[in-house]
Amino acid sequence: MDNHCFNFKRYSLLDNHCFNPHHSALFTDLYELTMLQAYYAEGMTATAVFELFFRELPARRNYIMAAGLDDVLSYLEELRFTDDELAWLEQRGQFSEALLEALRHFRFTGDVYAVPEGTIVFENEPVVQVVAPLPEAQLVETYVLNQIHLQSVAATKAARVVTAAQGRNVVDFGSRRSHGTDAALKVACTSYLAGAIGTSNVAAGRLYAIPALGTMAHSYIQAHTDEMAAFKAFAREFPETTLLVDTYDTLAGVHKTIDLARQLGDAFKVQAIRLDSGDLAELARSSRKLLDEAGLEHIKIIASSGLDEYKITRLLERGAPIDGFGVGTELAVSADAPDIDFSYKLVAYDGQPRMKLSSSKVNRPGRKQVFRVRDDGRMVGDIIARCDETLEGEALLAPVMQNGKRLDPGQDSLAKAREHARAQLEALPSALKTLERAKAGYPVKISAALTTLTEELQRALECKLRS
Amino acid sequence: MDNHCFNFKRYSLLDNHCFNPHHSALFTDLYELTMLQAYYAEGMTATAVFELFFRELPARRNYIMAAGLDDVLSYLEELRFTDDELAWLEQRGQFSEALLEALRHFRFTGDVYAVPEGTIVFENEPVVQVVAPLPEAQLVETYVLNQIHLQSVAATKAARVVTAAQGRNVVDFGSRRSHGTDAALKVACTSYLAGAIGTSNVAAGRLYAIPALGTMAHSYIQAHTDEMAAFKAFAREFPETTLLVDTYDTLAGVHKTIDLARQLGDAFKVQAIRLDSGDLAELARSSRKLLDEAGLEHIKIIASSGLDEYKITRLLERGAPIDGFGVGTELAVSADAPDIDFSYKLVAYDGQPRMKLSSSKVNRPGRKQVFRVRDDGRMVGDIIARCDETLEGEALLAPVMQNGKRLDPGQDSLAKAREHARAQLEALPSALKTLERAKAGYPVKISAALTTLTEELQRALECKLRS
């Protein structure tokens, strides 16, 4: 019953029989399991509707780019309890035989509706809607939230950085500071979704079939006794490389690049230099001048070093001749908005709308649809409605899974999602693309029918409370 | 060569032949691979020393609790390129035959020195020291930084939350808002390391053999037509549960708990109620009064709802009779300090100390040791020294891996690390345990010998630059 590789803090993924906690049905909050036991005991297996949405934009965000759907659908398709996991649950002595038996046959058989990957969303708009037997819709809460939250945080940050770069290349350099391996992979993918041209992370490059990029670190230069010797040796192996010039003195490094070009003549294929410290705008200007004077106008200048959308904006305002940005920590952790208050709420059970009344956390009942109105292509306002309404504008939520099977997203789904994300950013009101909080937020209305339903149910619940 | 389950954004872990990006040798920055190719081509395989440290404390931190070592050592022991990964790298057409051949036989054969898991560390103190042939020490940079960074961010946040709770229970509720699956698991583990009593995450509970805790969500109450019916049904399945009382009206929920106690008599075993909204201090006081008046003094009060160390401190300052805290988002993302400027720097190669000069990013050369001086058990100051010095105080860095094999940490290593972390926090000057930045930081000195070495090398490098 016990797993030989299941030691403290260790799971060998070289041994494929091991419990993999990243993609386990046990990746859930314990209360999901205790609630499931109660639901099964009470025969509460009718259809539930849960909606995933956020209530408030983070202070420094004007919009959220929704992401993470593909991982959610893969999880729902593959979700099952292995014998090994069931045995472990049984060992705990906490759960009923009935629950364990139900989990043995557990599959997600429901339907999912969602906004397309890369869609811009606002307060209270359902991003994912799960319609399934109550225990199924309940169990998946933790993973679904975990992935949509992380990937939407990361896609939104990347969209801001890419917007700030005004068409210049942005590359994700964040893997060393992202919160773990999963975040590193998802930050790479969602950065690409939002318009970055690639990532430094090789595993992400492979997993998502996106460009993996990078050349050298300071350690490479330092390991040599001489910077020029390091440049030469590296250019021999990778002629079209980017040289990191700031290990000892940036402009001296640029001079060495120019010397190397003279020495190598036609064999000189170096494409760029990278600046990673100091006053990047000033150094970029001086470097550009030196390179141009040496006839090396084609050599590009890449900058990195604690960059984010604010610093990139200031660099470009100062006219820094920088052609591309490597963005690490800030893209990885989204320090100015590392979390969004996404939650996953029951809005209907067995055909009846549901809501809670807890102070300041009221949520609107019933299954919903979001209609987006455009004017000359530009987004001008959304209306959150009951799902049985048909209002003007484009309906954002569409079916993505039926009876536990994902609907075919077609070929090149990441490329399509990236194009969708680009078009979404283009259609966004320009006031929302600024870095600070826009004075007037994007207009999101609630339909009359949804308002009526909310007020009626609220009155009924309050009446019941008083009785 | 291609892997049938290697689709866009999908990797099925049900199929064990698949590429697992979380524990792959490809989880590295591309530049590590290009540098390796150059190192091998140049025959640069002598011993390198890399040190992992941070330069500056985040603005809202007075100390960092180092964590993540176990995952680093597992990674180093298991690191190898599979045939499948090598085939993928070859397909890129970017790398030399010589590199691919070297990677085929690649193993980490070096030594590692580190401070024990849960040790409190400060600016510029090496946390992990890797002594290995240059290509080996270089390749592992990305993963080693990724894990020590995440886990130290999380352990430090948890230490602050646990300190603020002044002996009351703290449980990690953060999995839904942590940055991905890896962060959820590591936040659970490092929270426990730092003194939390458990986690809501079942997979983490299993993986680390730590308590998995939790009872019910609002959705459970809402799915019922009646709150009392929900309480009764749940208590039937789990008599010793915690009842969530705030779905509609907190004090009405408490009254129902009291009614349930009267109805069930001796069969009433409910242990606690949970408050998840509103003015928690006021509601805790009113709830405590109602419960006590009903003779239910033994029922504990658990609070959750956007808590962090600041809010917990204010609740306790207001005298809130709360027995335990469920802490979610803030523990998960450490929003007030989501990143630490950890880096992994070459400090020696082939017996020679190395450093870089880039403006404001100078690092001290040579392999080091940290000596910690105590007075009556309390930490009073550290000295960063050359590794060949012997100074007063306790040497923090000790060998943890030799020739690529981890030294036996013994049984119950998490329990031991947790006790070590507790003792570290106890020995910390109390001024550093406050939530705001302490006026006087912890004294960290540089030894005379290390200062001399730094100055000499700096002079030599500057002299060379001018020549």
pLDDT-derived band of residue A467, with 50, 70 and 90 as boundaries?
Answer: confident
The residue-averaged pLDDT of B296-325 equals: 98
User: Looking at the predicted structure, is the pLDDT value of residue B4 above 80?
Assistant: no
Instruction: Select the CATH number that applies to the domain covering A21-154+340-466 from these four: 3.40.50.720, 3.20.140.10, 3.40.1210.10, 3.20.20.70.
Output: 3.20.140.10
The pLDDT confidence band at residue B362, using thresholds 50, 70 and 90, is low
CATH placement of domain A160-333 = 3.20.20.70
A228 to chain B, minimum CA–CA distance in Å? 11
3-class SS letters over chain A: CCCCCCECCECCCCCCCCCCHHHCCCCCEHHHHHHHHHHHHCCCCCEEEEEEEECCCCCCCCCEECCCHHHHHHHHHHCCCCHHHHHHHHHCCCCCHHHHHHHHCCCCCCEEEECCCCCEECCCCCCEEEEEEHHHHHHCHHHHHHHHHHHHHHHHHHHHHHHHCCCCEEEECCCCCCCHHHHHHHHHHHHHHCCCCEECEHHHHHHHCCCECCCCCHHHHHHCCCHHHHHHHHHHHCCCCEEECCCCCHHHHHHHHHHHHHHHHHHCCCCEEEECCCCHHHHHHHHHHHHHHCCCCCCEEEECCCCCHHHHHHHHHCCCCCCEEEECHHHHHCCCCCCCCEEEEEEEECCEECCCCCCCCCCCCCCEEEEEEEECCEEEEEEEEECCCCCCCEECCEEEEECCEECCCCCCHHHHHHHHHHHHHHHCCHHHHCCCCCCCCCCEEECHHHHHHHHHHHHHHHHHHHC
Provide the residue ranges of all domains of chain B, joining segments of one domain with +. 47-77+109-154+340-466, 169-333
Q: What is the pTM of this model?
A: 0.96
| pLDDT for residue B148 is more than 90 | yes
Mean local confidence (pLDDT), B341-354: 96
Distance from CA of B331 to the nearest CA of A (A): 11
Do B41 and A236 make contact, defined as CB atoms within 8 angstroms? Answer: yes
A96 interaction partners in chain B (CB closer than 8 Å)? 237
Q: Does residue A7 surpass a pLDDT of 50?
A: no
Q: Which of A154, A180, A250 sits opposite B182 (nearest CB)?
A: A180
Quote the mean pLDDT of chain B. 93
Check residue A361 and give its pLDDT. Answer: 62
pLDDT in tens, B26-47: 999 999 999 999 999 999 999 9
Nearest residue of B to residue A181 by CA position?
Answer: B22
Which chain A residues are closer than 8 Å to B106 by Cβ? none
Flag the least confident range among A459-463, B354-358, B368-372.
B354-358
A9:B71 CB<8 A: yes
pLDDT category of residue B21 using cuts at 50, 70 and 90: confident
pLDDT at B358: 63
Residue A23 pLDDT: 80
ipTM value of the model?
0.95
Which of B31, B181, B225 is facing A200, going by the closest CB pair? B31
Answer yes or no: same fold for B47-77+109-154+340-466 and B169-333: no
Q: Which residue of A has its CA nearest to B467?
A: A252
Which among B24, B200, B247 has CB closest to A30? Answer: B200
The predicted structure's pLDDT at residue A202: 97
SS3 B170: strand
- CB contacts of B146 in chain A (<8 Å) are 175-178, 180-181, 184
pLDDT exceeds cutoff 70 at A339: yes
Q: Does domain B169-333 have CATH number 3.20.20.70?
A: yes
B107/A5: higher pLDDT: B107
Of A154, A217, A250, the CB nearest to B31: A217
Superfamily, domain B47-77+109-154+340-466: nicotinate phosphoribosyltransferase (3.20.140.10)
Q: Would you place residue B73 in the very low, low, confident or very high pLDDT band (cuts 50, 70, 90)? A: very high
